[in-house]
Amino acid sequence: MYNSKDMNILKSIKIFAVMLCLCAIKMPVALAADYTILAFGDSLTAGYGLGPEQAFPRQLERALRQQGHDIRVINGGVSGDTSSGGLARLDWLLSGIEHGKPDLVILELGANDALRGIPPDITRDNMAKMLAILEKAKITTLVAGMIAPPNMGPDYSVAFNRIFPELAAKYHDDLYPFFLDGVAGNARLNQSDAMHPNARGVAIIVKKMMPYILKSLKNP
């Protein structure tokens, strides 16, 4: 039989074991230090009007590291790029990344297509070809959706807005429905052109996208 002293020791051990289990449940799993994300897009990714430290890729990298994930984020944004421009440079960029292909590509293109009134069928075809390239390369992809500006009219908007969720489903990729969610239309979160997020706006985008990014990285 256990005496009272033994019972107290056993009780302490059980409490310690329960605490360890709770800590294990609450503690986020740190992703590997050699993980790389390629943020591939237009000026919204490149950081138009912002310093390098304020742009989406750098803010995302900092936010990931603050959560214990030592992940490198590459800025693959080109201001003014359309989906046609993205398609033209995707293979070249993937082949030039140091240490091999990225673990995740955030595909953010289409905004300039809509602003220029490019037919949605052309945007859809370009996006599909890029997703096919990434699928063939076995690179996990997060599609960052875009919404057409209202001045393009309802028919254009319907055709354009369907591109991103439909292609994400077709290629079995994760979807972040709207890259500018929570930021578009808010003067306090945008630069004077009312189109490009300021540093505060980018921080909100990063915060909103973070759960989607982590999900994509953990479930290739």
Query: Which residues are tagged catalytic?
Result: 43, 193, 196
What is the percentage of the chain residues whose pLDDT exceeds 90? 80
Task: Please report whether residue 21 resides in a domain.
Answer: no
Task: Please report whether residue 186 resides in a domain.
Answer: yes
Rg from Cα positions in the chain: 22
Task: Please report whether residue 99 resides in a domain.
Answer: yes
Task: Please report whether residue 191 resides in a domain.
Answer: yes
Task: Please report whether residue 4 resides in a domain.
Answer: no
pLDDT for the residue 3:
53
pLDDT for the residue 17:
40
pLDDT for the residue 15:
39
Domain that holds residue 69: 32-218
Task: Please report whether residue 100 resides in a domain.
Answer: yes
pLDDT digit string (tens) for 195-215?
999 999 999 999 999 999 999
pLDDT digit string (tens) for 74-97?
999 999 999 999 999 999 999 888
Provide the pairing of β-strand 36-41 with 72-77.
Answer: parallel
Question: Tokens 């599609």 map to which residue?
Answer: 143
The H-assigned helical ranges of the chain are 4-26, 43-46, 56-66, 83-95, 111-115, 120-136, 154-161, 163-170, 199-218
Q: How many CA atoms lie within 13 A of 156 on its CB side?
A: 16
Q: Is the pLDDT of residue 163 over 90?
A: yes
Distances (CA, A) of 181 to 98, 112, 129, 193: 32, 17, 25, 17
Q: Is the pLDDT of residue 18 over 50?
A: no
Which has more confidence, 48 or 2? 48
Structure tokens at 189: 């979160």
C-alpha 163/C-alpha 153 separation (Å) is: 16
What are residue 40's DSSP bridge partners? 76, 107
pLDDT for the residue 28:
44
pLDDT for the residue 152:
95
Which has more confidence, 95 or 22? 95
Question: Tokens 């189109």 map to which residue?
Answer: 195
Give the chain's length: 220
pLDDT for the residue 160:
98
Straight-line distance from the first to the last Cα atom of the chain, in angstroms, rounded to the nearest whole number = 53
Task: Please report whether residue 44 resides in a domain.
Answer: yes
Task: Provide the number of structural domains found in the chain.
Answer: 1
Q: Which one-letter DSSP state was computed for residue 197?
A: B
Task: Please report whether residue 20 resides in a domain.
Answer: no
pLDDT digit string (tens) for 50-79?
999 999 999 999 999 999 999 999 999 999
CATH number of the domain enclosing 210: 3.40.50.1110
